[in-house]
């Protein structure tokens, strides 16, 4: 899934503006250029947000939602940012457990077993690791939006 599409979905879900997106990036010690943020939300732009920007955005989202913790020092960013990483970071940012994620996916019309879901959260290289597909990530973002913006009707 395109990085810009994920950021746009999260922006809509949380009902935040460009300034708040920039704030999330700066929380993760990233100084975005004005054009970088503008390109994310430019529907005509063919240019996708960089993996570096996406990695910092996800870390910034965690800090934005949960605050910074002295117990958990910042980790180096993982590049390239895969759908699995996005799902893991969103799970942390929104304090979701396995059951919560299954309910969110179900509310969006997507069914997955506990075993399939746990395979997505395993480390790459583990014998039971499974890549998170674009469809699953889209349904997860849709379900999160329904949870955080129940006023938004499907359509």
Segment 34-46 shows an average pLDDT of 83
Collect all residues with Cβ–Cβ distance below 8 Å to 115 and sequence separation of at least 6.
Answer: none
Residue 91 lies in a domain: no
Name the band, by pLDDT with cuts 50, 70 and 90, for residue 34: confident
* Statement to judge: residues 26 and 68 lie in one domain: yes
pLDDT-based confidence at 88, cuts 50/70/90?
A: very high
Radius of gyration of the chain (CA): 15
For the segment 73-98, the average pLDDT, to the nearest whole number, is: 94
pLDDT of the residue at 153: 56
The Cβ of residue 19 has, within 10 Å, a number of other Cβ atoms equal to 9
Mean pLDDT (whole number) for 50-67: 96
- 13 is a domain residue: yes
Same domain flag for 54 and 117: no
Of 81, 107, 138, the domain-final residue: 81
pLDDT at residue 155 greater than cutoff 80: no
């Amino acid at each position: 899934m395109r990085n810009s599409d994920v950021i746009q979905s999260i922006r809509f879900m949380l009902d935040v503006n460009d300034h708040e997106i920039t704030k999330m990036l700066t929380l993760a010690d990233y100084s975005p250029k004005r054009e970088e943020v503008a390109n994310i939300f430019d529907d005509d732009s063919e240019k996708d947000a960089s993996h570096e920007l996406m990695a910092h955005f996800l870390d910034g989202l965690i800090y934005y939602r949960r605050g910074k913790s002295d117990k958990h020092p910042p980790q180096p960013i993982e590049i390239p940012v895969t759908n699995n990483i996005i799902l893991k970071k969103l799970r942390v940012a929104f304090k979701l457990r396995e059951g919560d994620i299954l309910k969110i996916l179900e509310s969006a019309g997507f069914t997955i077993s506990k075993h399939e879901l746990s395979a997505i959260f395993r480390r790459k290289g583990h014998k039971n690791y499974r890549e998170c597909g674009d469809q699953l990530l889209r349904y997860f973002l849709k379900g999160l939006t329904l949870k955080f913006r129940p006023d938004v009707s499907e359509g």
